[in-house]
Amino acid sequence: MSDVPPALTPGFHGRPRPEGVALPPGQYVEDGFPVLSAGPTPNVSEATWSLTVTTEAGASTAWTWADLMALPQETPTVDIHCVTRWSKFGTRWTGVSLDVLLADVESTADFVMVGSYGGYTTNLPVADLLGGKAWIAHAFDGKRLHPEHGGPARLLVPHLYFWKSAKWVRSLTLLPTNRPGFWERLGYHDLGDPWREQRYQGD
């Protein structure tokens, strides 16, 4: 007698399927705004916050909070997708496009290491920060970004899994070759495209 494979989760129905929305594979719709981070929330004030971009040649450009506020502001409304499987539709942010911040930075690097207050890092291709795809965000739903969600300012790269959108962002370091950041060293994907379900290394 051959082994009959056991039935796969019989009696599981799931929620009514969302209609008319684009949900990446393996994700579900979340109406709240869950918080995920690897350690305590760092206490960063706007007075001490700054963002530094360093090229592969070692040249640095820095923006203070006042500098950031003086730049052209955008208000993207985007869907976000967390690797822990929630997706949240139509989130409204205020921030400065990376196209603005990186416009005059001279570099031939293809990769960026993002650094945060508190020590978090994440890596991604430069191409994923340019072309209207990424922002330094400082407000959510028109209100100052709460520290739990990365305030005073976080990276916002909504087309990638949300761990790439580093909270409490403080530095962008341009790299000629790719290096893994915090979660990427621990087995998570270097790019993290939710539509290709790139959760883990090897996906």
Pick the closer one to another protein by CB: 38 or 59.
Answer: 38
Pick the closer one to another protein by CB: 37 or 91.
Answer: 37
Residue 63: Cβ within 10 Å count: 19
CB of 73 to another protein, least distance (A): 29
- Cis peptide bond upstream of 152, omega within 30: yes
Pick the closer one to another protein by CB: 99 or 190.
Answer: 190
Residue 125: Cβ within 10 Å count: 16
User: What is the radius of gyration, based on Cα positions, of the chain?
Assistant: 19
Pick the closer one to another protein by CB: 54 or 123.
Answer: 123
Count of all residues that appear for the chain in the document:
203
Half-sphere exposure of 43 (CA within 13 A, CB side): 0
Pick the closer one to another protein by CB: 31 or 104.
Answer: 31
Residue ranges in contact with another protein by CB under 8 A? 5-15, 17, 26, 28, 30-42, 84-86, 118-119, 148, 180, 182-188, 190, 200-203
Do the Cβ atoms of 75 and 138 come closer than 8 Å?
no
Q: Report the amino acid identity of residue 155.
A: L
CB of 113 to another protein, least distance (A): 14
CB of 13 to another protein, least distance (A): 5
CB of 11 to another protein, least distance (A): 5
CB of 41 to another protein, least distance (A): 6
Closest alpha carbon to 15 in 25, 28, 32: 28
Pick the closer one to another protein by CB: 80 or 96.
Answer: 80
Q: SS3 sequence, 95-121?
A: EEEHHHHHCCCCCCCCEEEEEECCCCE
CB of 55 to another protein, least distance (A): 24
Do the Cβ atoms of 128 and 160 come closer than 8 Å?
yes
